[in-house]
Chain A
């Protein structure tokens, strides 16, 4: 029990990263059923956006992080929007095909990053106001950058919840998710809503990418390392529910941290995988489910 309490802050920190990576998927996979394997590459593009602002544009490191967040959101959001309007929209209802299709797009983006920035990793220095950290009881040290990511993740969740529940666009989005045909005959332009959903989901990948530059180097394969875990979060959380994604991200983060505390780190992944398969025995649709009568 004590070990669990000690691992809690680390688990929350890992969970926050998972949450940021999975939040965008909550839109594209959870709400639209598109398995966007290029999401990892959009995260990578977000990270390189931060790098470009710092190294090429030469913005002062103290502010470049804050400038990078909205810029990355706009850059990856636009990329995602382009993908949706040119390609993905022709594949709704064929989730496995979109998976392979977007994987191909991911390969192209990855190679483009290699050609532009080179294969070796690059570093984006964290702003000075994020150096250092706090020490918790039990001698657990948490970096300010981890706390920043946690705060960023929580901010994003609140913003998304507000958007979905309060704004006119967000309510349209929810209407389309619940009943596409009814929404369409009620005068909602479902095409616009789909494109907007994809824009926001992809934009969130950009924000996740910026956050990742704080805790590690940036390279062309950055996204690949996170995409599988991010999808697992959505699988455990259940489709289309923000609360499920949040809960699952932190649950998996804490589980990862706890397992790694007493088992070898390389075994931890396999143990977590087994735990997820076991969890799916009890809740095959994830934490939160939407009941349907459709025959598949």
Chain B
């Protein structure tokens, strides 16, 4: 039995891990030295969005589920952490009342029941990942089971994001309303305002991003990863292989939500605020745009897309806000129309052109009949 299985050389196989290690070393050792604290803080924020992007690349790029409501899961993670930090701030300030100030202003006299567990940092961190995961699993399972998919699923996600934001704004006495939650001076007894704390948060974000990337990369290389692609391209056909698409889709959607939740939890101490405007319908679509620009089929491309787009956002939005909106709109149109594989797709094409002048794809022509023998 001879097969045409490509046998990669040792050098070839080591290239991926080597690149990752080099990137990681640069991010952890070099950048904190090179960048001033303000820039490092911004970069840490972008990396949080890169974690969200990895989830979208898994669920949308691989699984075909257009996750138009990732802001919800990001927000749930962010609010879980923000609630904890708010309680910490209240406890740390001897002059402050026993309740977070916005609750006092709203006339509350005691801490709402669902706030209480969040005094514990462990509960906050777990909740930031598990609550988004549980919500996504419930929603995903119930709609995928009934074969609600494609545009319907995308619209449901968007409707969830809209409803979530309205709820956050409306329940001002419980959530801080449209102001959100802010003012987090301490975490675990340490001040969050020192450069050391910010570098630690940055390091933590880099490590979370790397871990998420490695986990999702492993998943895409498993049989499950292939099944996810199969479900994306022909869901009903997968049933006739004896697999149940419901759990296959639900798992990817849940993992994407958990990644977004973790990113939200990291984002809050870095950014210092979380509010409904950061997680609504529009921010959710922006998270998808970043992945579309970076390349929906590539994990690394998606993460890079998030970093690039958010960098551009801060650079351009301040100097010419209106122009930036036009540019973003145009980017949407251009990427979808001309480069559906995003920057990662363009990079691959370019690399193939440069390194190998002959086509690298296997010859698309079917093998001539003469090569075959009858069974």
Listed in ascending order, the chain A residues whose CB lies under 8 Å from chain B are 29, 33, 35, 87, 90-91, 95-97, 99-101, 103-108, 110-111, 114-115, 224, 228-229, 231-232, 235, 264-267, 269-270, 272-273, 276-277, 280-281, 284, 295-296
Contacts of A115 in B (CB 8 A): 322
In the bound complex, do residue B288 and residue A100 qualify as a contact, i.e. CB atoms below 8 Å apart?
yes
Chain B residue at minimal CB-CB distance from A38: B329
In the bound complex, do residue B337 and residue A103 qualify as a contact, i.e. CB atoms below 8 Å apart?
no
- Hey, what's the 0/1 contact readout for B277-299 against A, CB within 8 Å counting as 1? 00001100100110010000000
In the bound complex, do residue B158 and residue A280 qualify as a contact, i.e. CB atoms below 8 Å apart?
no
Contacts of A111 in B (CB 8 A): 322, 325-326, 329
In the bound complex, do residue B170 and residue A35 qualify as a contact, i.e. CB atoms below 8 Å apart?
no
Q: List 6 A-B contacts (CB under 8 A).
A: A96-B151, A97-B340, A99-B154, A115-B322, A273-B156, A296-B236
Instruction: Report Cα–Cα, A280/B333, bound state, in Å.
Output: 32
- Hey, what's the 0/1 contact readout for B157-187 against A, CB within 8 Å counting as 1? 0111011101101110000000000000000
In the bound complex, do residue A266 and residue B236 qualify as a contact, i.e. CB atoms below 8 Å apart?
no
Contacts of A284 in B (CB 8 A): 143, 146-148
In the bound complex, do residue A107 and residue B328 qualify as a contact, i.e. CB atoms below 8 Å apart?
yes
Contacts of B146 in A (CB 8 A): 280-281, 284
Instruction: Report Cα–Cα, A74/B281, bound state, in Å.
Output: 29
- State which residues 307-343 of B face A: CB under 8 Å: 322, 325-326, 328-333, 336-337, 340
Contacts of B340 in A (CB 8 A): 97
Instruction: Report Cα–Cα, A111/B166, bound state, in Å.
Output: 23
- State which residues 135-159 of B face A: CB under 8 Å: 139, 142-143, 146-148, 150-152, 154-156, 158-159
Known contacts A107-B325, A269-B162; is A96 also within 8 Å of B154 by CB? yes
Known contacts A97-B336, A100-B292; is A235 also within 8 Å of B150 by CB? no
Known contacts A90-B337, A295-B236; is A267 also within 8 Å of B329 by CB? no
Instruction: Report Cα–Cα, A104/B255, bound state, in Å.
Output: 28
Chain B residue at minimal CB-CB distance from A29: B151
Instruction: Report Cα–Cα, A107/B163, bound state, in Å.
Output: 21
Contacts of B164 in A (CB 8 A): 270
In the bound complex, do residue A107 and residue B332 qualify as a contact, i.e. CB atoms below 8 Å apart?
yes
In the bound complex, do residue A228 and residue B158 qualify as a contact, i.e. CB atoms below 8 Å apart?
yes
Residue among A101, A107, A231, A264 making CB contact with B158, cutoff 8 Å: A231
Q: What number of residue pairs across chains A and B have CB atoms under 8 A from each other?
A: 124
Q: How far is the CB of A104 from chain B (nearest CB, A)?
A: 3
Known contacts A277-B139, A296-B234; is A104 also within 8 Å of B160 by CB? no
Instruction: Report Cα–Cα, A136/B281, bound state, in Å.
Output: 37
Instruction: Report Cα–Cα, A101/B288, bound state, in Å.
Output: 12
Give the 6 A-B residue pairs with the shortest CB-CB distance, closest first.
A266-B170, A104-B332, A107-B329, A108-B329, A284-B146, A269-B163
Contacts of A33 in B (CB 8 A): 151
Known contacts A273-B159, A295-B236, A296-B236; is A104 also within 8 Å of B151 by CB? no
In the bound complex, do residue A96 and residue B150 qualify as a contact, i.e. CB atoms below 8 Å apart?
yes
Instruction: Report Cα–Cα, A115/B322, bound state, in Å.
Output: 8
Give the interface SS of chain B, mostly helix, strand, loop or mixed.
helix
Contacts of B332 in A (CB 8 A): 100-101, 103-105, 107
Q: How far is the CB of B95 from chain A (nearest CB, A)?
A: 32
In the bound complex, do residue A270 and residue B163 qualify as a contact, i.e. CB atoms below 8 Å apart?
yes
Residue among A99, A110, A232 making CB contact with B325, cutoff 8 Å: A110
Known contacts A273-B160, A284-B146; is A265 also within 8 Å of B170 by CB? yes
Contacts of B68 in A (CB 8 A): 99
In the bound complex, do residue B288 and residue A95 qualify as a contact, i.e. CB atoms below 8 Å apart?
no
Chain B residue at minimal CB-CB distance from A266: B170
B237 within 8 A of A: yes
Contacts of B282 in A (CB 8 A): 224
User: For the side of the interface on B, what is the size category?
Assistant: 35 or more
In the bound complex, do residue A266 and residue B155 qualify as a contact, i.e. CB atoms below 8 Å apart?
no
Contacts of B288 in A (CB 8 A): 100
B76 within 8 A of A: no
Instruction: Report Cα–Cα, A98/B343, bound state, in Å.
Output: 19
Q: How far is the CB of A98 from chain B (nearest CB, A)?
A: 8
B66 within 8 A of A: yes
Chain A residue at minimal CB-CB distance from B289: A100
In the bound complex, do residue B156 and residue A104 qualify as a contact, i.e. CB atoms below 8 Å apart?
no
Contacts of A96 in B (CB 8 A): 64, 66, 150-151, 154
In the bound complex, do residue B167 and residue A267 qualify as a contact, i.e. CB atoms below 8 Å apart?
yes
Instruction: Report Cα–Cα, A26/B68, bound state, in Å.
Output: 21
Contacts of A106 in B (CB 8 A): 329
Chain A residue at minimal CB-CB distance from B138: A277
Q: How far is the CB of A237 from chain B (nearest CB, A)?
A: 12
Instruction: Report Cα–Cα, A101/B68, bound state, in Å.
Output: 14
Contacts of B330 in A (CB 8 A): 104, 108
In the bound complex, do residue A87 and residue B333 qualify as a contact, i.e. CB atoms below 8 Å apart?
yes
In the bound complex, do residue B167 and residue A99 qualify as a contact, i.e. CB atoms below 8 Å apart?
no
Known contacts A97-B336, A228-B281, A266-B171; is A104 also within 8 Å of B159 by CB? no
Instruction: Report Cα–Cα, A110/B325, bound state, in Å.
Output: 9
Q: How far is the CB of A42 from chain B (nearest CB, A)?
A: 15
Instruction: Report Cα–Cα, A90/B146, bound state, in Å.
Output: 31
Q: How far is the CB of A77 from chain B (nearest CB, A)?
A: 21
- State which residues 61-75 of B face A: CB under 8 Å: 64, 66, 68
Q: How far is the CB of B146 from chain A (nearest CB, A)?
A: 4
Contacts of B166 in A (CB 8 A): 266, 269-270
Residue among A108, A224, A277 making CB contact with B143, cutoff 8 Å: A277
Chain B residue at minimal CB-CB distance from A230: B155
Residue among B66, B139, B281, B337 making CB contact with A101, cutoff 8 Å: B337
Contacts of B329 in A (CB 8 A): 104-108, 111
Q: How far is the CB of B76 from chain A (nearest CB, A)?
A: 13
Instruction: Report Cα–Cα, A237/B155, bound state, in Å.
Output: 14
Instruction: Report Cα–Cα, A87/B326, bound state, in Å.
Output: 17
In the bound complex, do residue B336 and residue A104 qualify as a contact, i.e. CB atoms below 8 Å apart?
yes
Q: How far is the CB of B272 from chain A (nearest CB, A)?
A: 25
In the bound complex, do residue A295 and residue B234 qualify as a contact, i.e. CB atoms below 8 Å apart?
yes
Contacts of A269 in B (CB 8 A): 162-163, 166-167
Instruction: Report Cα–Cα, A35/B156, bound state, in Å.
Output: 13
